[in-house]
Amino acid sequence: MNDALAALYPQHLATLRERTDTALARGGFDHLVVPAGRPITKFLDDQDYPFVTNPHFRHWLPLTDAPGSWLVYTPGEKPKLVFLQPRDYWHVVPEAPTGYWVDQFDIVVVRKPADAIAELPATLSRCAIIGDQYCNLQDVCANNPPAVVDHLHYHRAYKTPYELELMREASRRGTRGHRAAERAFRDGESELGIHLAYLTAVGQIDAELPYASIVGLNEHGAVLHYTNFDRSAPAESRSFLIDAGASASGYASDITRTYAGSKAGEFQALIDSVDAAERSFVAKVRAGQSYPDLHVHAHHALAGVLREHGFIRMSPESAVESGVSSAFFPHGLGHGIGLQVHDVGGFQASETGGTIARPEGHPYLRLTRQLEAGMVVTIEPGIYFIDMLLAELRNKPFSNDIDWVKVDAFRKYGGIRIEDDVVCTTGEPENLTRDAFALL
């Protein structure tokens, strides 16, 4: 894989330089300065939270564990990496940079954070410094100028071939974990046992994953962000929902699958219908497709699934208009993905800023842009049996159009979500997730 990355990286760097040149010119700055960040200390403690590198830093560099380091870029000059390699016998000291990318940078190794500051441009007022309050030392403050950040965030939606190769690898790692998790479910493991099997197969610890894994058995599949990890296996494992990803040099995969137990044929039939619907939505990931329109289309299609399986007697149009579909499918169809699992710029109207509003009645959609070649999005429809949301339907005028006996019979399964990571191209979409599963 390193040979492929080595071949693709120079063009990736050239693309970043071009975007940054424009962004700096629009903001009136001479330099881009990006701190990798530093660990955040826990309240009333002397220990730190797991370190997470500034995504703007790892956009340039495949370094995910370089706290205290800095990137400096000046248009027309070779980018500079100020690499902090402290003298420290309490922790593992980061190794000096090596690999396919190092020849593209001027690299300065320093031993103290203060020495790193001395390597930054002398006139900090001429620098666009991108980071949060934890990224910088006291005498260097992030300014995050909107003209620069808006331009970079908008264009981050368009992945370079180098980025796509890393996202393919993140998908391959994630699907290995999903296969191991399914086996653990079939073997009757607890949620924690399943999660440990997932981590072992992926080869990453929790802190290295792009987000906290969701591992829900039975009714727990109805909790959209369930992260409790029961230590004991249930008496009967009727259903299993896993939403878990993996990382590759800071790039994320985001994969969800739902499985039925051996005695849950009726639930398996519903999974099959949601899976077929999800594949049809993936096929619509095309240049020119409005993502909000695709989200609304998904509501109509899933309402059709609910009607087909006898949960509702109303038309799909009535189910969407009345809000019934939102009770069974209460979240957005998906989001952009890349350096962050919920990548930036999803609502941005243009490279100079602005916001594209969500469709009325759909407050949780995370992406409102029109799809274009190079974008990577998730497609993750679901049908759930959530007590709180279903209770709100019981006193509505259309309650008689819902088969409550059937709904109640499915509460024990929790819910279904199927999620793939999909590349919008100039032709057929590339399904990173299904391709990775196929390789297994």
CA distance 430 to 434: 9
* Structure confidence at residue 141 (pLDDT): 83
pLDDT value of residue 137: 65
CB 167 within 8 A of CB 383: no
Using a 10 angstrom Cβ sphere, with 0-12 exposed, 13-18 middle and 19 or more buried, the burial of residue 104 is middle
pLDDT of residue 87: 87
Predicted TM-score (pTM) of the model is 0.96
Q: Quick one: pLDDT at residue 279?
A: 98
Give residue-wise pLDDT tens across range 377-412.
999 999 999 999 999 999 899 999 999 999 999 999
- What whole-number distance in Å separates Cα of residue 305 and Cα of residue 287? 27
Spans of the chain, pLDDT less than 50: none
Confidence (pLDDT) at 133: 83
Q: What's the DSSP call for residue 405?
A: H
Q: Report pLDDT for 89.
A: 83
Non-local (6+) Cβ contacts of 340 within 8 A are: 55, 210, 252
Q: What is the DSSP string of 57-112?
A: HHHH---SS-TT-EEEE-TTS--EEEEE----SSSPPPPPP-STTGGGSEEEEESS
Give the chain's domains with CATH numbers.
2-155 (3.40.350.10), 161-439 (3.90.230.10)
Report whether 25 contacts 19 (CB < 8 A). Answer: no
Distance CA 249, CA 15 (A): 18
